[in-house]
Every structure is written in C-alpha cells, then in structure tokens.
C-alpha cells in the first residue's frame, strides 16, 4: 500500500463519498475508486459499505481508518523533522502508463528506480491514451508513458514501436522479410481492442474486415497460432514468451512513438525530473529487437 492510498482512504471516509473526496483532494472519482479498490484487495477486507446515499466505513474499515490516520500523522512528523531530506530522496511519484509499456519494461524500470530511491512511494495507474491525458490534466498523475498524447502535453521521446504482422509459425508467408497488408487482406482479422491501433491503421489506409475484436494480447496470439485469424499489433505488445507465432514488419512501415508526457516540464518536481532521466537511460540500455523469426 502507499501513503497516497491511505490519504485517499481518510479523505473518502471524511467526505462520505468518493465523488466529494475526489473534488476535495484534486483527483478524479475513478482514480479514487480505483485506489480504494486496490487497497481493499491488498488488505483482503471491505473498507466501506456502498449505498446510493454515499459510503460509510465497515467495522474493520473503522479500525483500518484509525491505523491509517496514525501512519499519516507519523509520516507528517517525520517529514517536518527531515525537511532538508525531502525532494528527490523521498516523496510520492504518481505514474500512468499504457498497457503495452506497463507489461513490457515498466516493472524492471520501476525496480531499478526504487533501488536508487527506496524512500519514494510510487503510485501506478494503467489506462488508455485518453484516460492518461485526463489524469495528467487533472494532476492525478505526475508523469505518463503514452502514445498520441494530447497536444497540450509536453513530451520527451523514448522509443519507436513498429507495427508487426502476426502469423502462425507454420504459415506459408512466415519467412517473409516484410509483408504488405494486401498479402493478408483476405484473411480473418483479429483486431486488438485498442483505439490507438485502430486509429493508426485507419490513418495509413488499412481497413481490415474485422472478424474478432479482442482485448487480451495472449488470447490474440493464441488465436493466431490456431489459424483462427491474423493480426497487426505494435512490437511492444509482444510478450517475452509467446505462442507459436512469428512477427513480421509491416510494409510500408508504420511506427508509433512512445513518449513520457507531463503538463509542463518547467513545473515538475525534482523527483519527477529524476524519474524522466532515469527512464531515458533505462530504455537506452534495453534491447528492443523484434520478437520475430
């Protein structure tokens, strides 16, 4: 659990409503709900009774609330006494990420960052590009890994993510160096349930006849393995261990840029700035060779 979760827990109990708590602490209602649900899942108990009139702490919730207030009070005292040590050595870092980044390299990145700054609390939210833009605008998060960011956001490029054609590893075209969409256009197409991918294909005049639309990447890859259909997805979507499929670059190539986004680089905290630099260095040291043949 994080201090931010406890702060949200205390604020929600005081307000008697997730919506009112969100308004008071500057978060969105969905972010407050997500953090409370995450805390309840971690503790294994229900902290609130929900009803149309609002929320009230359960009996165990009241006891947890007392502990949470004690923790926050102690933290406040420590912060006041260790004021000089604040900044990049301690604090809370709130991060958002699109799913492909969150699953592919974010765990390793966060692990290496925590080794450098063990006193930092990290809050991670996962969402699509539109959700992430809203979180940044509302200051729910400090920094985000995203693609196609809101034009009002300021960004820092991280890497190029290439679109790949995914085929069974016994397919007649499996040894192709590249593939044009016309070579697979007549086959059943499995569309990843990701608005960003659909938009990229449309912008490049690729309009497949969608037979299936699936959210889970591993399910898509397994369907391709079983000759149910083919698909096109970004290279970052490919997990380290995959079913019996091959990933072949699309021709002409289509790439998307993964960036770090903030509202304003001039106003970010030293901790956020340190994380941005660390992220760039971490990505440069990684091998993002295609997971293909």
pLDDT digits (tens, 9 = 90+) for 33-80: 888 999 999 999 999 988 888 899 999 998 898 888 888 867 755 664
Which segment of 37-41, 58-62, 133-137, 220-224 scores lowest on mean pLDDT? 133-137
Which of the 8 DSSP states describes residue 92? E
Contact of 131 with 240, CB cutoff 8 Å: no
Angle (deg, nearest 10), helices 18-25 and 3-15: 120
Q: How far apart are CA 100 and CA 223, in angstroms?
A: 19
Contact of 267 with 154, CB cutoff 8 Å: no
Q: How far apart are CA 268 and CA 260, in angstroms?
A: 13
- Identify the H or E element spanning 23: helix 18-25
User: Mapping DSSP to helix (H, G, I), strand (E, B) and coil, where does residue 251 land?
Assistant: strand
CATH match for 3-64 among 3.30.70.250, 1.10.10.10, 3.10.20.740, 3.90.226.10: 1.10.10.10
Handedness of CA 21, 25, 29, 33 (dihedral sign): negative
Tell me which residue has tokens 């991918």: 197
Contact of 5 with 64, CB cutoff 8 Å: no
- Centroid of chain to Cα 104: 10
CA-to-CA dists, residue 179 to 156, 216, 245, angstroms: 31, 24, 15
Quickly list DSSP for 112-172: HHHHH-TTEEEEEEE--HHHHHHHHHTTS-SEEEESS--TTSEEEEEEEEEEEEEEETTST
Residue 273: name the closest of 284, 260, 291 by CA.
260
> Is the pTM here over 0.95, yes or no?
no
Quickly list DSSP for 190-221: EEES-HHHHHHHHHTT----EEEEES-HHHHH
Burial group, residue 105, by CB count within 10 angstroms (0-12, 13-18, 19+): buried
Please report the pLDDT score of residue 90 as a whole number. Answer: 66
Rounded mean pLDDT of 80-105? 70
CATH match for 65-158+258-285 among 3.40.720.10, 3.40.50.9100, 3.40.630.30, 3.40.190.10: 3.40.190.10
pLDDT digits (tens, 9 = 90+) for 231-290: 999 988 888 777 899 999 999 999 988 999 998 888 887 788 889 999 998 888 775 543
- Centroid of chain to Cα 288: 19
Contact of 45 with 39, CB cutoff 8 Å: no
Whether the domain at 65-158+258-285 and the domain at 161-255 fall into the same CATH topology: yes
- Identify the H or E element spanning 180: strand 179-180
Burial group, residue 84, by CB count within 10 angstroms (0-12, 13-18, 19+): exposed
Domain 161-255, CATH 3.40.190.10 — does that match?
Answer: yes
pLDDT tier, 291 (very low <50, low <70, confident <90, very high otherwise): very low
Domain positions in the chain are 3-64, 65-158+258-285, 161-255
């Amino acid at each position: 659990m994080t201090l931010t979760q406890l702060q949200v827990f205390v604020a929600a109990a005081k307000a008697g409503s997730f919506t009112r708590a969100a308004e008071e602490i500057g978060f969105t209602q969905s972010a407050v709900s997500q953090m409370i649900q995450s805390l309840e899942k971690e503790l294994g108990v229900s902290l609130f009774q929900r009803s149309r009139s609002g929320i009230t702490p359960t009996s165990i919730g009241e006891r947890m609330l007392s502990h949470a207030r004690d923790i926050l009070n102690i933290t406040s005292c420590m912060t006041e006494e260790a004021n000089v040590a604040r900044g990049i050595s301690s604090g809370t870092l709130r991060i958002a990420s699109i799913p492909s980044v969150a699953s592919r390299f974010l765990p390793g990145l966060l692990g290496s960052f925590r080794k450098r700054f063990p006193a930092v609390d990290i809050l991670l939210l996962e969402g699509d590009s539109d959700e992430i833009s809203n979180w940044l605008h509302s200051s729910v998060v400090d920094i985000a890994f995203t693609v196609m960011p809101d034009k009002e956001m300021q960004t820092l490029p991280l890497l190029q993510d290439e679109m790949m054609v995914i085929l069974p590893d016994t397919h007649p075209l499996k040894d192709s160096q590249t593939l044009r969409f016309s070579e697979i256009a007549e086959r059943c197409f499995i569309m990843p349930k990701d608005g960003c991918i659909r938009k990229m294909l449309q912008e490049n005049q690729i309009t497949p006849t969608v037979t299936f639309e699936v959210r889970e990447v591993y399910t898509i890859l397994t369907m391709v393995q079983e000759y149910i259909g083919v698909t096109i997805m970004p290279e970052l979507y490919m997990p380290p261990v995959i079913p019996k499929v091959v990933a072949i670059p699309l021709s002409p190539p289509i790439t998307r840029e993964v960036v770090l986004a903030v509202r304003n680089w001039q106003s970010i905290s030293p901790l956020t700035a340190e994380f941005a630099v660390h992220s760039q260095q971490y990505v440069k040291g990684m091998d993002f060779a295609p997971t293909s043949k």
